[in-house]
Amino acid sequence: MDQLSSRLKQITSELKEYLETRIDLLVLNVGDQISAWVGLSTQKIIGYLILSFGLLFASIALAIYLGDLLQNEALGYLIVSIPLLILGLIFAFAKPFGIANSVQKQLMSGILKAIEEEKPGSKKLKLPEHKEQEKLD
């Protein structure tokens, strides 16, 4: 009986150690995925900032050029700003959840991919469909 008791204690301690190791491995994999995502996002943000500054200077140059052609500098700036204003209004008021849902889906697919890579024999996990998205369409 004493041997059975010690064997059960050993099994429970090994099981506990195994579970802790699996949790640590999962945390490391998720952390690795998050750090890769942050690095990629940082690179994209810097690229978009550089592109934005280029577009800003090109818009200013176009506004000055149109102002010289029309001999009214304010009219040049007005002509350049109207398409930007319309584009901004479209982004501000048309389907505000579309971009947020897209980003959330990307993050979740990255996490699920990391979990599937960790367990090669497990069944594939799928992202749940959002009912909100169908209501918005």
Q: What tokens appear for 28 in the block?
A: 């490391």
- The pLDDT value recorded for residue 119 is 62
Angle at 45 between CA 41 and CA 47, to 5 degrees: 115
Q: How far apart are CA 79 and CA 69, in angstroms?
A: 12
pLDDT beyond 60 at 26: yes
The half-sphere exposure of 38 on its side-chain side, counting CA atoms within 13 A, is: 6
28 pLDDT band, cuts 50/70/90, is: confident
